[in-house]
Amino acid sequence: MKATSITGVYKEKNRIYTENLPCCKGSTVYNERIVYYRDREFRSWNPYRSKLAAAISNGLKISFKTDSKILYLGAATGTTVSHVSDIVRDGWVYAVENSPVAMKKLLYTCGKRHNVIPVLADANHPERYGSIVSGVDFVYQDVSQRNQAEIFKTNVFRYLKKNGEGVLMVKARSIDVSLKPKKAYELVCLELEDAGLKIERRIDLHPYDKDHMVILVSYF
Ligand SMILES: C[S@@+](CC[C@H](N)C(=O)[O-])C[C@H]1O[C@@H](n2cnc3c(N)ncnc32)[C@H](O)[C@@H]1O
């Protein structure tokens, strides 16, 4: 097991891992493989189940630190949230999700994780979680909505600290099914740039996800 250049992400052969939090020893979130190395417990991070793992496997470098505060939009049942929680062990993950059914599962899968703060809310209205969330180091979004760029911008401008970074997982078909994926990505990038965000990287998630692109932005 070797550390990678991304804090908290490890590699063995061609698989990536995060180290399970001490409070969650022995437990899995989505039946992922657990491996032990020098008395430490690592959870396999499956790029076919998590777009962030797919993006990292395809070369994305993210600036998470062990004490980072992450605003995570579209938390679903906690698959990726749990790995982010392993990484920012001394920080916080504000896990925003608008489906009560998904949130119930998230509470079950991530309830023991001391650094995950579940927020049942619509990410279209960031002002509704203003009493819970404050200045974050990173905004991560995976919501598959037509107005995903708009949702991302409003959350970035409200909560991301200056010099922070954000990742937007773009699902081309959610933007407009009649558009070619390349055109949909172009439109999203233009919208983010027009708002003053700098596009640092764009990476296709093939072969792990079809017609998905990750966009890494910075905010000055
Ligand atoms: C593709 S899934 C996210 C998967 C998750 N990021 C993972 O890797 O484990 C998208 C999630 O976003 C949620 N969602 C969609 N629109 C939303 C909104 N406006 N506000 C908050 N959550 C939203 C959906 O309910 C769904 O659970």
Task: Tell me the per-residue pLDDT of 60-79, one tens digit each, with 9 for 90 and over.
Answer: 999 999 999 999 999 999 99
Q: Which two tokens stand for residue 124?
A: 């279209």
Q: How far is the CA of 175 from the centre of ligand 1 (A)?
A: 15
What per-residue confidence (pLDDT) applies to 199? Answer: 97
Q: What is the mean pLDDT of the chain?
A: 96
Q: CA-CA distance, 176 to 206, in Å (whole number)?
A: 19
Q: How far is the CA of 169 from the centre of ligand 1 (A)?
A: 11
pLDDT tier for residue 173 given thresholds of 50, 70 and 90: confident
What per-residue confidence (pLDDT) applies to 144? Answer: 86
Q: Residues near ligand 1 with C-beta < 6 Å?
A: 50-51, 73-74, 76, 79-80, 96-99, 102, 122-124, 142-145
Range 46-219 has CATH code 3.40.50.150:
yes
Question: Which ligand 1 atom lies nearest to the CA of residue 145?
Answer: 16
Give the residue-averaged pLDDT of 160-172: 95
Query: 182 to each of 89, 176, 185, 204, 207, how far by Cα in Å?
Result: 36, 11, 5, 10, 16
Question: Which ligand 1 atom lies nearest to the CA of residue 51?
Answer: 8
What per-residue confidence (pLDDT) applies to 176? Answer: 85
Q: How far is the CA of 1 from the centre of ligand 1 (A)?
A: 31
Q: How far is the CA of 121 from the centre of ligand 1 (A)?
A: 11
pLDDT tier for residue 175 given thresholds of 50, 70 and 90: confident
Q: With 90 as the cut, is the pLDDT of residue 177 above it?
A: no
Query: Which residue among 72, 143, 170, 173 is best mutated to probe the pocket of ligand 1, counting the most ligand atoms within 8 A of its Cβ?
Result: 143
Buried b (16+ CB within 10 A) or exposed e, 179-192: eebeebbebbbebb
Please report the sign of the dihedral spanned by the C-alpha atoms of residue 186, residue 189, residue 195, residue 198: negative
E strand segments, 80-173 = 92-97, 116-120, 136-141, 160-171
Task: Tell me the per-residue pLDDT of 102-150, one tens digit each, with 9 for 90 and over.
Answer: 999 999 999 999 999 999 999 999 999 999 999 999 999 999 899 999 9
What per-residue confidence (pLDDT) applies to 148? Answer: 95
Question: Which ligand 1 atom lies nearest to the CA of residue 77?
Answer: 9
Domain ranges across the chain: 46-219
What per-residue confidence (pLDDT) applies to 41? Answer: 98
Q: With 90 as the cut, is the pLDDT of residue 16 above it?
A: yes
Q: Is 201 helix (H, G, I), strand (E, B) or coil?
A: strand
